Chain A
């Protein structure tokens, strides 16, 4: 997977769910709000367990929330999505 980075649409999915707060998602997943912020900004790639819990909190398959991108860093990709 050389050159692949993990992108996500956590922020847009929160917004779609009646502007779910970062703290509410953090509480549902069992991590700190700062960790949710870092994931949304592409500064941290979560473990499989946390990624699955986030997808579960949104009621979506994990691949709808997280996916690999080639040649574009995750922060740029997430910035474009937002």
Chain B
């Protein structure tokens, strides 16, 4: 890991943490939905708990890599990579949100579950944000490793 910059280490750690916590979250949501327990209270508790866990893990990880890596200022390459990865992930988020909206609108005619459950809509939007963030982190790593 010594040849990796602080930004690359940050992206890898955030990606791994998001991956595991995201899988745990949606697995729990699926179980709650199957059990008919996907209510605002249970979902809020789950989301709040896992968000606090994610923040603690990421703060701890970033303190660790900041302590072991040579401090460096963000330069033009870091900014261009962040801008380009952010741009593409913004498109992914937009497409996903429009896809959800279209699914709700069309599904509404056929009694689709997504169109009738605010909890499912909320989770679909959370999944879209998570997907966009994962795309941004993966692209950040690709741009750092393979070039712009």
In chain A, what residue has the closest Cβ to B148? A44
Interface residues of B in 129-147 (CB under 8 A from A): 144, 146-147
If over half of A's interface residues share one DSSP class (helix, strand or loop), that class is named, otherwise mixed; here it is loop
A46 CA / B77 CA spacing, docked (Å): 8
What are the residues of chain B within 8 A of A31 when measuring CB–CB?
Answer: 75-77
Taking Cβ atoms with an 8 Å cutoff, the residues of A that contact B are 30-35, 38, 41-47, 49-50
Besides the known contacts A30-B73, A32-B75, 20 further A-B residue pairs in the complex with CB atoms under 8 A apart: A30-B75, A31-B76, A32-B5, A32-B72, A32-B78, A34-B5, A34-B8, A34-B77, A34-B144, A35-B78, A38-B77, A38-B147, A42-B147, A43-B147, A43-B148, A44-B77, A45-B148, A46-B76, A47-B76, A50-B76
Interface residues of B (CB under 8 A from A): 3, 5, 8, 72-73, 75-78, 144, 146-148
Write 21 A-B pairs (CB below 8 A) sorted by A numbering.
Answer: A30-B73, A31-B75, A31-B77, A32-B5, A32-B73, A32-B77, A32-B78, A33-B72, A34-B3, A34-B5, A34-B8, A34-B77, A35-B75, A35-B76, A35-B78, A38-B77, A38-B147, A44-B77, A47-B76, A49-B76, A50-B76
